[in-house]
Structure 1
């Protein structure tokens, strides 16, 4: 590790001899990601070597360092490879298999690498400016951590903490490498313009009320949509009870689209090192115009995962289903850490969409998710089993899928 730090410092020092680089911290993660599925009516069974089985290996290496007083820098890079698994165990990869325009990439099985982060951060008083390639964590645009690699953004973000118990956020997002269809990032990690011509965001996070976090966000995705997000999360009765409320509105700047909103509630109880919760969400229709491609409140960068309570912690029952316009969804779940070093959780959710007054688009979704995670020495292990169904407007089952996902990671 000392040799790694010395080499990195030497590389970063080239051309920057005017700066005294200090406080260098190197970090990273090696990850192996595997998933296999079985769908009713398909000729592919669990653990077959076809496109129903996916695997990939990633290596993330990064560093942060101080360049000058109040000025720091961060950088990280991904290496992504199949290690030849597609010739022996699987037939597809879980990430980076689409081009920025959504078409299938011809080199998805090739080794890939890209700069995940490269930013400068300057702090003056209680204000920090962070400019460059970075992670984001906002309700409608965020970095997703579930896949073998994650997505990032080219952005400028300002954080201010002058107001008591309050963080103010302002951001400009110019580019990102997020991809749809559950592939998380574009092939080769390629970045393209975020939305149509970029986006602005502003937010405020306040903790003035004891045991309560309140946040409000506004987004202007240029030529695409205006949106805002309101949320309050509280812990009551000595943290035994958790209560959450969410409301969001999105106004698409397209012909034939009107604004769509969604609200969600969540109630949880913590007892004996365990948590039990229930959540419900309801999204309005988009003016009842029967458009097949419904709006949703998922991550703008990927169209996949969502911060709405009913979309959390599930492989398939995420923002694509539970936050569609004209959809009601509910979810119940429980988790426990009663076994030392192991977290066990299970959830069941359903979503019903009326298809914006178009009978052909009506559907019902349901899914079980069972998750076990823990560590064996320095190695983190996660296993997820899910059973996912879809019924069309006639009640006929069109999807019946069982999926097993296994993730092993080593952080350093």
Structure 2
């Protein structure tokens, strides 16, 4: 897709007489996501149907993302840049027609009679949502960059999730310095987030659906994309990332949410030179919420990349039997960056007192990208949701600007409350047009 006119934000930037606007980049994507399951609980635990592809067991959404960045000033001393992003989330009227559920929790929904979701099946009015997901300025002087505003973040336990049709972002000030050879130093203050549990973080929760009628299957954003204070008074983070020994990348992160929680994350990833393709990794994270117990979680990974054939990884993790911080994202769905994280069912490998295993195989055949993902989470004391087994198969292919992916997810939650849960099947389709 080519733009014949500048977007509104670009026009506003170009209209400034103070800066010489240069290197304007406009991009975006349009997404159509669909998911259906034969789970009798459906998406909101109110229907006893197990009808794969049935309306009440299916969800769909359409998302549009527009992004722009530009250099506002550039000379021998400083480079000043800015960026903005906007998201539109709409069902195009699919609810109560083709599906009864949506993907994103940024939607609000009106239930026709009372607040009982049972009456919403085939009867909820879902509103469209739109919000500014990014709006930032950045200045680079020498090897130091300062970035201020609304932005995506990629840190171990406070990060933007990109697996669903909406993305959670943050209002933050970030400072990055690379004066020390082979070392990146990071300092950040994160004040707000539009992640679904920002402002009311409960680290015992594992899945947050967000919207008022419980219609969302992949919710990570507050209603209408609204931002709230992270924790009680924001969060501070400092980090050092080093690869002085070229095959090894080591990183250490420390987080402080004043009067609320503290956590740190250590990780080392090695690409073996003597055995090309061999990958090894180790992670450890610990934290404490208020006056609660300290937690501890560790994970290890070994993998091998056969160039132009396939990449295979195996991983193991263990969470402690105390504490509530086990590596999950502090806002969003509860997804984690642990090597053992599941493809679809988040919150299980990071539950208290859980042993988890993961096998990932990715490769290509007949021009398609193929993936096989196996995750098993075993809860020793049943402190969280339940045991979980997940097997996912994916196949994806690009057709010019169009990316298409099909996924099949088999889920067995074992026993919940002493009762065996039926295994379920989920089928999903992802279509993305990049421009």
Q: Compared with structure 1, are the counterparts of its residues 303 and 59 closer, same or farther at alpha carbon in structure 2 (3 Å cutoff)? A: closer
**How many residues of Structure 1 are paired with residues of Structure 2 in the alignment?**
392
Alpha-carbon distance, 1:104 to partner: 11
Q: Compared with structure 1, are the counterparts of its residues 138 and 124 closer, same or farther at alpha carbon in structure 2 (3 Å cutoff)? A: same
Answer yes or no: is the 8 Å Cα contact 2:107–2:224 preserved in 1.
Answer: no
Matches within 5 A, 1:262-341: 262-271=297-306, 273-286=309-322, 294-312=324-342, 314-316=343-345, 318=346, 320-340=347-367
Alpha-carbon distance, 1:211 to partner: 1.5
* 2:268 pairs with 1:232: yes
Answer yes or no: is the 8 Å Cα contact 1:299–1:305 preserved in 2.
Answer: yes
Alignment match of 1:80 (pick from 72, 75, 89): 89
Counterpart of 2:402?
379
* 2:36 pairs with 1:36: yes
* 2:280 pairs with 1:243: yes
Counterpart of 1:291?
none
Q: Compared with structure 1, are the counterparts of its residues 394 and 113 closer, same or farther at alpha carbon in structure 2 (3 Å cutoff)? A: closer
Counterpart of 1:9?
10
Counterpart of 1:65?
70
Counterpart of 1:409?
432
Answer yes or no: is the 8 Å Cα contact 1:361–1:393 preserved in 2.
Answer: no
Return the TM-score normalized by structure 2.
Answer: 0.85
Render the CA deviation track for 1:183-226: whole Å, top value 9, x for unaligned: 11111111111122110001111111122111100000222211
**Partner-residue secondary structure (3-state), 2:10:** helix
**Partner-residue secondary structure (3-state), 1:184:** coil
Answer yes or no: is the 8 Å Cα contact 2:351–2:384 preserved in 1.
Answer: no
Alpha-carbon distance, 1:396 to partner: 3.9
Answer yes or no: is the 8 Å Cα contact 1:120–1:132 preserved in 2.
Answer: yes
Q: 1:361 & 1:28 partners in 2: Cα distance?
A: 38
Counterpart of 2:199?
none
Q: Compared with structure 1, are the counterparts of its residues 248 and 8 closer, same or farther at alpha carbon in structure 2 (3 Å cutoff)? A: closer
Q: 2:379 & 2:248 partners in 1: Cα distance?
A: 32
Q: 1:394 & 1:88 partners in 2: Cα distance?
A: 35
Q: 2:330 & 2:116 partners in 1: Cα distance?
A: 20
Alpha-carbon distance, 1:286 to partner: 1.0
* 2:39 pairs with 1:55: no
* 2:151 pairs with 1:134: yes
Alpha-carbon distance, 1:25 to partner: 0.8
* 2:423 pairs with 1:400: yes
Alpha-carbon distance, 1:8 to partner: 4.5
Return the TM-score normalized by structure 1.
Answer: 0.89
Between 1:139-148 and 1:31-40, the stretch displaced more is 31-40
Counterpart of 2:376?
350
Q: Compared with structure 1, are the counterparts of its residues 393 and 60 closer, same or farther at alpha carbon in structure 2 (3 Å cutoff)? A: closer
Alpha-carbon distance, 1:388 to partner: 0.7
Q: Compared with structure 1, are the counterparts of its residues 84 and 2 closer, same or farther at alpha carbon in structure 2 (3 Å cutoff)? A: closer
Question: Could you list the runs of 5+ residues in structure 1 that have no partner in the other structure?
Answer: 288-293
Question: Could you list the runs of 5+ residues in structure 2 that have no partner in the other structure?
Answer: 42-47, 109-114, 197-207, 210-217
Matches within 5 A, 1:114-133: 114-133=131-150
Q: Compared with structure 1, are the counterparts of its residues 167 and 395 closer, same or farther at alpha carbon in structure 2 (3 Å cutoff)? A: same
Alpha-carbon distance, 1:383 to partner: 1.3
**Partner-residue secondary structure (3-state), 2:6:** helix
Answer yes or no: is the 8 Å Cα contact 1:367–1:388 preserved in 2.
Answer: yes
Answer yes or no: is the 8 Å Cα contact 2:66–2:86 preserved in 1.
Answer: yes
Render the CA deviation track for 1:156-177: whole Å, top value 9, x for unaligned: 0011110111111110000011
Render the CA deviation track for 1:103-143: whole Å, top value 9, x for unaligned: 99999821111001000000010000000000000000101
Q: 1:98 & 1:339 partners in 2: Cα distance?
A: 39
| 4+ long deviations beyond 3 Å | 6-9, 103-108, 359-363, 393-396
* 2:308 pairs with 1:261: no
**Partner-residue secondary structure (3-state), 2:126:** coil
Answer yes or no: is the 8 Å Cα contact 1:263–1:283 preserved in 2.
Answer: yes
CA RMSD of aligned residues (A): 2.3
